Amino acid sequence: MTNFADLTTIAVGGPIASFIEPTSRVGVIEAVEDADAKGLPLCVIGGGSNMLVADTPFDGVVVRDARHAVSVLDEAAPAENDEKIVHVNAEAGCNWDDFVDYCVGLGLEGVEGLSGIPGTVGASVVQNIGAYGQEVASSVESVEVWDRKDKQTKELTNQELHFGYRMSALKASMYSAPATPAADFFPTPRYVVLSVTFALHHSATGVVGYGQLAKALGVEVGERMSTTDIRNAVLNVRASKGMLEDSHRYLTEAMRGTKKSELVAIAHNAQRTQAGNDEPDYNRHSCGSFFMNPILPKEQAAKLPEDAPRFSATLPDGTPGVKTSAAWLIDHAGFHKGYKTSENATAGLSTMHTLALTNRGGASAADIVKLAKTVQDGVERAYGIRLVPEPVVIGMSLK
């Protein structure tokens, strides 16, 4: 029997009653529709990187799209607003970093800053992944979905997806409020992603849009660099913070074949070189960034310490707000890199990044939740802000 611990980057989670890997578009739809028709709990999983699942059995159906195809839709790059745009379609099950590598190799700009983010193309648009000055929303033209409510396929445009900070209409359909599941569809959106069409710039250079990345490249923010150089720099920066997935997971039976073997080999060699050994890296056994950066009303942000990071942002109601750093709040509330609730705890903050909650070897989902709640409570006591978890939390409560 397959366990969620076999499928997730944080390596926790209980046994799965039914695990299905469709190899066709129709197969994905049929698997989803069959589970819904029987009233079974349904979890459509990508790379397992943005989820935390209970240790108890999941008495439903888990569907992992086994389709990985990527195709260029334009014979020649058409001009849009005096820029050459290339449309690329990727099936939902395609490994995200495989897709980025493919696009950079074709001389396409728009997703290079998102290198190294674990997961799949389908999950990327649900979460609206972002890093180092880019968000996937800026490159998505449309998404083909299966509508579980209306029982039909639909093509949703970028505008219809209502992208926001780590949010989309797809993700919103799972929740009635932040971190509060909606009974009708959770833990899978109403709209199941089948494929995504991207509009990318035909250019071998990209804009360096983030200070840390610019420093790594030795340039100023806003300068253009080779997309290959940007991709490599992003991977190096992520590795330095333990924010890449552990390449060992792709050597397991449950994950083998879900990522290109040549990229697995490159990642494995890089990880071994960085660590100086061939052991698993527990700093990489995480869900990535566990908490979202809070977006606050200006009045609340004004109460933060003077040295707290502040960035312009938009509140859910459309009014101007202020985004601050969850990592800063965690650290300044007394939870530093490597923090654990006890000396022998098997869950702890990464020793390289306070925003990553990690499985230090043998942790359970309950251990991760205990750590997360400890951090949430501490930050709330210190600053009056309740951090919202970024992963999908299944079978447990974490608000």
Please list the active-site residues. 166, 289, 390
SS3 214: helix
Say which DSSP state 149 is in: T
Neighbouring C-alpha atoms within 13 Å toward the C-beta of 142: 9
CB-neighbour burial class of residue 261 (10 A; exposed 0-12, middle 13-18, buried 19+): exposed
Q: What single-letter amino acid sits at 318? A: G
In the numeric block, which tokens belong to residue 110?
């728009």
Rounded Cα distance between 303 and 154, Å, is: 45
Residue-by-residue DSSP string for 284-295: GSB-SS-BPPPE
SS3 369: helix
Phi and psi torsions of 147, nearest 5°: -85, 110
Rounded Cα distance between 388 and 323, Å, is: 13
Query: Is-contact 152 158, C-beta < 8 A?
Result: no
